[in-house]
Amino acid sequence: MKRRNFIFGALAGIGALAGGAGLFVRQEKFGRAPSGARLERIKASPHYVDGQFVCLEPVDAMMDDLPEEEKPNRLETLYRVLFGSDDGRVPKEAIPSNKTDLHAIPREQDVAVWMGHSTFYLQVGGRRILVDPVFSAYGSPIFFINRAFRGSNVYTAADIPTLDVLLMTHDHWDHLDYDTVMALKPKVKEIICPLGVGEFFEQWGFDLGTLHEEDWDTDIALTDDFHIHILPSQHFSGRFLTRNNTQWCGFAVITPERRIYISGDGGYGKHFKDIGARFDGFDLAMMENGQYNMQWHAIHMLPNETAQAAEDVRARFVLPAHSGKFALALHTWQEPYAELLKESAGRPYRMVTPRIGETVDMDSPADFPRWWEGMGIK
């Protein structure tokens, strides 16, 4: 009897845990899978194959270019990223910032403001644009995983002016943050995102009349002189166990006077040269550079690949992204900046490294100091 009661008790405990996990992932912030007319539209995309989105070139998200005997155990690597010691991955001091009052920037001034990781505020051609906003303390659904670096969260939704456009590159937690976009909801006039990502905004109660949800290589003309192009990137998607049921992308923002490129997350591929040729180069490019590893460089570029990609797209100025806020890889937090600076030497663009909140003038960016140098690591 005791044994049977123990078994029943154990099964009940497992059931309770499973039930709790089921309730946890049913929270609104996880979103839901595309369905109905949206799913049918997704199925019609040439980039949706056998039930999932694919990259332009075949990609293994965990492709290894290492000899077999040098390949670490993937689960071990993931454990070290999520739960391992800091090992220099987290800054000892607060990330420095110089917070600009965004409301005070004249609309006619073309500027970029880095807000940490992949969040950027842009003013281009009199329009206000926000890219992948994350103002929360964690870039994950669990409070103890992927905590933002101290000092890296200086902006809130209250600091953001009314937005002409919200750009969303993909659905990962460190880019699409439920609390942030919900706080921004009354300020957003138009949303542009790749296929499937619109499901989140529909579920979260956004006006579908403001939503532009399109496939790669789509030109969205918001006005005759203001175009945003959804462009390919080499990445993946998913907020829990299901992968690649929504698309990922980069963007080009084009006006008669300005060409801006946003790479989004992704590995190096031939699409960069194609994009550079198609738009005849860019005044400013925000390029992914951080959270890389040889095990997954097919979906997150190494610094030498970022440098080559920046040259491929023919950028004049390069703003690094995807670093300075979260530790999602095993490299030190400073390494992406130091390595990209080294890899950029002699290339036909200039790397621009503002502190969080500093204004970058698109006509003539300042020569910002190397603020990460000399800062301690844990």
* 112 lies in the same domain as 236: yes
Q: What DSSP string runs through 122-173?
A: EEETTEEEEES---SSBSSSSTTSSBPPTT-----GGGPPPBSEEE-----T
* 18 lies in the same domain as 106: no
The predicted model gives 246-256 an average pLDDT of 98
* 11 lies in the same domain as 122: no
In a domain, 144, yes or no: yes
In a domain, 131, yes or no: yes
> What does each C-alpha distance from 218 to 190, 192, 194, 215 come to in angstroms?
16, 11, 10, 6
* 18 lies in the same domain as 141: no
* 18 lies in the same domain as 150: no
Per-residue pLDDT tens for 318-370? 999 999 999 999 999 999 999 999 999 999 999 999 999 999 999 999 999 99
Above pLDDT 70, what percent of the chain?
86
- Res 26: pLDDT: 75
Q: Which amino acid is at 299?
A: I
* 273 lies in the same domain as 167: yes
In a domain, 166, yes or no: yes
- Res 91: pLDDT: 94
Taking alpha carbons only, the member of 327, 343, 325 closest to residue 82 is: 327
In a domain, 97, yes or no: no
The predicted model gives 273-300 an average pLDDT of 96
The predicted model gives 263-274 an average pLDDT of 98
Q: How confident is the model at residue 200 (pLDDT cuts 50, 70, 90)?
A: very high
* 19 lies in the same domain as 108: no
In the predicted structure, residue 14 carries a pLDDT above the cut 50? no
- Res 1: pLDDT: 38
Above pLDDT 90, what percent of the chain?
81
In the predicted structure, residue 18 carries a pLDDT above the cut 50? no
Quote the domain boundaries for residue 321.
Answer: 102-361
- Res 12: pLDDT: 39
Taking alpha carbons only, the member of 250, 241, 246, 298 closest to residue 278 is: 250
Q: How confident is the model at residue 240 (pLDDT cuts 50, 70, 90)?
A: confident
* 110 lies in the same domain as 26: no
In a domain, 67, yes or no: no
Mean of all residue pLDDT scores within the chain? 90
Stated pTM of the model: 0.90
- Res 80: pLDDT: 67
In a domain, 370, yes or no: no
* 25 lies in the same domain as 108: no
The predicted model gives 6-33 an average pLDDT of 58
- Res 67: pLDDT: 53
**Distance separating alpha carbons of residues 31 and 197, to the nearest angstrom:** 9
> What does each C-alpha distance from 131 to 135, 148, 262, 378 come to in angstroms?
12, 18, 9, 30
What CATH number is associated with residue 120? 3.60.15.10
Domain count, the chain: 2
The predicted model gives 230-253 an average pLDDT of 96
* 141 lies in the same domain as 5: no
Which strand (E) or helix (H) includes residue 20?
helix 2-25
Q: How far, in whole angstroms, is CA 265 from its chain's centroid?
A: 5
Cβ neighbours around 3 below 10 Å, total: 7
In a domain, 95, yes or no: no
- Res 199: pLDDT: 98
In the predicted structure, residue 4 carries a pLDDT above the cut 90? no
Higher pLDDT, 14 or 197: 197
* 183 lies in the same domain as 326: yes
In a domain, 378, yes or no: no
Per-residue pLDDT tens for 161-198? 999 999 999 999 999 999 999 999 999 999 999 999 99
In the predicted structure, residue 205 carries a pLDDT above the cut 70? yes
